[in-house]
C-alpha cells in the first residue's frame, strides 16, 4: 500500500460510561498534557450506560487546553446533519478549533429505531450518508443550505456560525459502498477496530477508497486514514487486538503507517487505562514517529 505522507498523529479513546466519568476526566487531562492530538468518544446513544458523546466532549473540552475531540463516530441517523454541523461549528468557535467531525451511518439499526430514528437498510443508508456529508460540508462554511431529496428535506437553512478554520469530516465505513463514499466525499477514513478489520484486511479497503477518490477527481492522499487500535502494551501475546511490549507496538504501528497507509492511531486500552496511556505517550508514540521518519527518509 501507499504511504500517503501525512504527519503521524495519535489519540485516545474514552469510554463514555457514566460510572467511569472520574476516570474519563483524568484520562482526558493526562492525554492533553502528554501531547496526544485527539480524544475520541464512541457514539451509541441507545446504550443506557453511556453519556451522550457530544455532551461529554463539550464538557471535557472545558477541562482540557489544547487537545482536539472527535466523535468516533457520530450516528447520522440520530443526529440530523444540519444540527450536527451547527454543534460542531459552535464547539469549534468556543474551543479555538479543537474539533474533528467523525460521522457514520449508524452501527445498530435496532438501536436507531428504538430511539425513534428511521430504520434504513443498505443502499438507502449509503445514499442518506453521502447526502448528509454534502449538507454538513455546505453548512460548515456558512450560508444557505437547500437540499430536497428522498432522504433530506432542507428548505433554505441559513447556516452559521462559520468556524474560523475548516472542520474535517471523517467517515467511519467498512462495506464497499460506504468505502466508496469515503473516497468520494470525506476528508478521512475512520476504520473500525483492528479486531474487526485486522491489518490483512486493510489493503482491499484502502484500494476501494483510492479508486473512488480518483474517480471523483480527487487525490487519494486527500483522505486521511485513521485506525482504531484496541490492545494492551506490555501484556503477554494472545489477548484481543494488539498485545506485546513497547517494541512490538512500535514495529506494528510503524508498519501500519508505511505499509498500510494509516496516519492516525486511536488507542483503545484493554486494561489499566492511565498506566497504558503513560506507556503509549512516553515510549510508543516517540518510537513510532522516529521509525516512520527513518523509513520515509530511506
Quick check: is 293 in a domain?
A: yes
Give residue 142's pLDDT band: very low, low, confident or very high (50, 70, 90).
very high
DSSP, res 18: G
Q: What is the pLDDT of residue 20?
A: 97
Give domain status of residue 3, yes or no: no
* Position 207 pLDDT exceeds 90: yes
Reported as a pLDDT band with limits 50, 70 and 90, residue 119 is confident
Q: Mean pLDDT over all residues of the chain?
A: 95
Q: Is residue 292 part of a domain?
A: yes
The 3-state DSSP class for residue 62 equals coil
* Residue 2 covered by a domain: no
- Write the pLDDT tens digit of every residue in 275-288: 999 999 999 999 99
Average pLDDT over residues 26-42: 98
Please give the pLDDT value at position 249. 98
Domain of residue 221 covers 9-297
In a domain, 4, yes or no: no
Q: Is it the case that residue 221 has pLDDT exceeding 70?
A: yes
Confidence of residue 121 (pLDDT cuts 50, 70, 90): confident
Query: Is the pLDDT assigned to residue 1 strictly greater than 70?
Result: no
111's enclosing H/E stretch is helix 109-114
- Residues 18-29 pLDDT 10s: 999 999 999 999
Query: Is 1 contained in some domain?
Result: no
pLDDT band at 179 (very low <50, low <70, confident <90, very high): very high
**Mutual angle of helices 122-139 and 81-95, in 10-degree steps:** 40
Share of the chain above pLDDT 90, in %: 87
Number of domains in the chain: 1
Instruction: Give the CATH number for residue 37.
Output: 3.20.20.30
From residue 108, how far is each of 49, 122, 186 by CA, in Å? 16, 12, 22
Q: Distance of CA 79 to CAs 43, 49, 110, 163, 220, Å?
A: 11, 19, 16, 19, 28
Which of these, 153, 177, 69, 75, lies nearest to 116 by C-alpha position? 75
Residue 223: the pLDDT is: 98
Q: Tell me, what's the pLDDT at 276? A: 97
229 contacts: CB under 8 Å, gap ≥ 6: 193, 194, 241, 242, 253, 265, 266, 267, 268
Amino acid at each position: 500500500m501507499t504511504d500517503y505522507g501525512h504527519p503521524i498523529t495519535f489519540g485516545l479513546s474514552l469510554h463514555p460510561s457514566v460510572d467511569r466519568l472520574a476516570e474519563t476526566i483524568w484520562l482526558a487531562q493526562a492525554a492533553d498534557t502528554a501531547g496526544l492530538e485527539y480524544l475520541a468518544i464512541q457514539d451509541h446513544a441507545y446504550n443506557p450506560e453511556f453519556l451522550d458523546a457530544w455532551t461529554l466532549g463539550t464538557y471535557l473540552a472545558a477541562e482540557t487546553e489544547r487537545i482536539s475531540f472527535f466523535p468516533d463516530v457520530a450516528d447520522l441517523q440520530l443526529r440530523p446533519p444540519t444540527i450536527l454541523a451547527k454543534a460542531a461549528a459552535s464547539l469549534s468557535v468556543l474551543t479555538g478549533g479543537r474539533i474533528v467531525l467523525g460521522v457514520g451511518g449508524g452501527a445498530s439499526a435496532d438501536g436507531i429505531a428504538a430511539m425513534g430514528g428511521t430504520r434504513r437498510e443498505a443502499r438507502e443508508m449509503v445514499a442518506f450518508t453521502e447526502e448528509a456529508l454534502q449538507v454538513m460540508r455546505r453548512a460548515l462554511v456558512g450560508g444557505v443550505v437547500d437540499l430536497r431529496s428522498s432522504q433530506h428535506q432542507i428548505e433554505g437553512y441559513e447556516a452559521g456560525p462559520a468556524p474560523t478554520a475548516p472542520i474535517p469530516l471523517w467517515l467511519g465505513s467498512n462495506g464497499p459502498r460506504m468505502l466508496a463514499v469515503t473516497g468520494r466525499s470525506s476528508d478521512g477514513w475512520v476504520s473500525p477496530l483492528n479486531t474487526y478489520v485486522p491489518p490483512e484486511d486493510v489493503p482491499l479497503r484502502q484500494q476501494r477508497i483510492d479508486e473512488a477518490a480518483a474517480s471523483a477527481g480527487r487525490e487519494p492522499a486527500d483522505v486521511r486514514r485513521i485506525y482504531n487500535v484496541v490492545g494492551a502494551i506490555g501484556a503477554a501475546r494472545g489477548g484481543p487486538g494488539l498485545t506485546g511490549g513497547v517494541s512490538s507496538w512500535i514495529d506494528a504501528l510503524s508498519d501500519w503507517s508505511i505499509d498500510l497507509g494509516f496516519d492516525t492511531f486511536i488507542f483503545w486500552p484493554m486494561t489499566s487505562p492511565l498506566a497504558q496511556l503513560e506507556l503509549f505517550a512516553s515510549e510508543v508514540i516517540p518510537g513510532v514517529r522516529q521509525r516512520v521518519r527513518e523509513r520515509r527518509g530511506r
